[in-house]
Chain A
């Protein structure tokens, strides 16, 4: 197998706060192949956003602290890059789309300038040329009348349109990888589908790999090639999207699947919530973090933390229990 586009090994990110050190991401490893869409799934506070931000070192240090055995991107060791090295990579080779389109665009700068900015920065394109390119980008993300919209400010755009602007900005330098951090969470349901469809089409056209961070399993089923399920800062199950859907093997994933409605099931089935609360990351028990909520916990779960082990073709899980279905 060829070297993956992005390879993350042993990534841990912690924050020093008043209540001690919180390990938001703990020993996470995953790969993203060129052109593939990988979904990182988990509930709020499971560390999925921090994982994505840590790859680009967008976590302020301090209070954050990012450690990794290796983060390789397109054959380069990101850990060895200095500040200007990682700046040359951001927005150029790896672009990001954020969750809140309302607050993620600068209110004092025109939309055109914000879209053109990466081209000016990374390609050294003069502003008039970069703005002309920005018009083309806005057209690509289906913003009507892009010439006129170039001079608009973000407050003159709706939420969905702002997220389109964010996508245009991310695509500007034709990155090899786009990290989309819950790109549709803040949007209306009808707009959500449009934005994801657009993102999928444009990344497929350009062969851009996509890391899609979401807590929406419906989104995962539709758009992802592979899935990483996170719980309490750790990966608990990874595998091809289809496999995860059809044969989830970690009790948490099984619980997630049972908690959402599916079109292909018998009518009248009751949705089953996962009981309990996500754990406090600053006071994790020594064993498996999911144990207090796990219906299948055994004695070993309390003592030892399970590692991610292969259980099938490209399918891994971190659980002592042999769950079927």
Chain B
């Protein structure tokens, strides 16, 4: 198990290197140049710096390869993601500030998604083809069909028109006041969580139906167990194995979702940082965010793989 984890972590290195190449080059392909943007800003233009001076100051006059090697070398050797082209602050500092916020929102949303999806999926399976099953399945289809950016916007707009209520805009970090922090994230987390729960719920239902047909479930009934024990002890664990895979695959979707929610609900997380940086062509920030997100997705995939060992005794890590 330990050897397996170490091996998996070592594999991350070439994967991340490859990802860094793609990220670095794609970001520079965004049309529009950061220098043009800066030149159009009055205060910089007033400084009377020429394009060349500006480029040299930001290190953008170097050949691409040199720029890349400097950047990746900084990350690999010093954990330094460079400096923001606009604010001249270290990117690492920005990431350290924003990452916990996005992590909180993502984890909150995922928790809601699972708390909604698994019980309802199980219920829907054991009451297959009843009214309850149809209702929950229809709702899940609805959640799947409604885009979360639309729902988020509606939640921002309509309550404020009808009742003068709108979600709080002033941001409270988790470390400052955990309760208040969760309250302010509740609306976006619920919207995201429900959107994610739809697929998980349907998967849980399908797998439960499959497992409930198995011989060992009949054995469990033949032992005299009641429905609760048959479902929770004998069926659910076996049904969850593929559901865990699905949840792992949903993580990138979840991260994409947090970007949108952060924008709508003005939550200063990685998503908001990324959007601002992209519109300003602040390359070091964009690449920094991508690298962190990429690493997070890879680590979560590793966690998902490890969780199989907990759920399925046939899985052994060597």
A residues in contact (CB < 8 Å) with B = 56, 58, 84, 87-92, 95-96, 98, 100, 103-110, 117-118, 121-122, 153, 155, 166, 169
Contacts and interface: CB of A to CB of B under 8 A. Distances in A.
A105 B226 CA distance: 17
Contacts of A100: 215
Contacts of A106: 216, 219-220, 234, 238
Nearest to B220: A106
- A105, A117, A118, A169 interface centre (most CB from chain B within 10 Å): A117
B90 to A, nearest CB: 48
A166 B219 CA distance: 9
B314 interface: yes
A91 B234 contact: no
Contacts of A121: 223-225, 229
- Looking at chain B's contact residues, is the secondary structure mostly helix, strand, loop, or mixed? helix
A106 B218 CA distance: 10
B218 A98 contact: yes
B313 interface: yes
Contact of A118 (B223, B238, B314): B223
A169 B222 CA distance: 11
A117 B222 contact: no
A132 B109 CA distance: 44
Nearest to B314: A155
Given A108-B311, A121-B229, A153-B314, A87 B224 contact: yes
Interface string B140-164: 0000000000000000000000000
Nearest 4 CB-CB pairs, A to B? Answer: A90-B224, A91-B224, A91-B223, A103-B215
Contacts of A169: 219, 223
A59 B89 CA distance: 70
Contacts of A155: 313-314
B221 A88 contact: no
A105 B233 CA distance: 13
Given A91-B223, A103-B216, A108-B237, 6 more contacts: A91-B224, A107-B238, A108-B238, A108-B312, A117-B223, A117-B225
A98 B313 contact: no
Contacts of A108: 237-238, 311-313
Contact of B314 (A58, A107, A110): A107
A106 B215 CA distance: 9
A84 B314 contact: no
A138 B221 CA distance: 21
B216 A107 contact: yes
Contacts of A118: 223-224
A103 B233 contact: no
Contacts of B314: 107, 153, 155
B214 interface: yes
Contact of B214 (A58, A92, A103, A109): A103
A108 B221 CA distance: 16
A58 B218 contact: yes
B222 A90 contact: yes
A169 B216 CA distance: 13
27 contacts: A56-B222, A58-B222, A87-B225, A91-B222, A91-B225, A98-B215, A98-B222, A103-B214, A103-B216, A104-B218, A105-B216, A106-B216, A106-B220, A106-B234, A106-B238, A108-B238, A108-B311, A108-B313, A109-B233, A110-B313, A121-B223, A121-B224, A121-B225, A122-B224, A155-B313, A155-B314, A169-B223
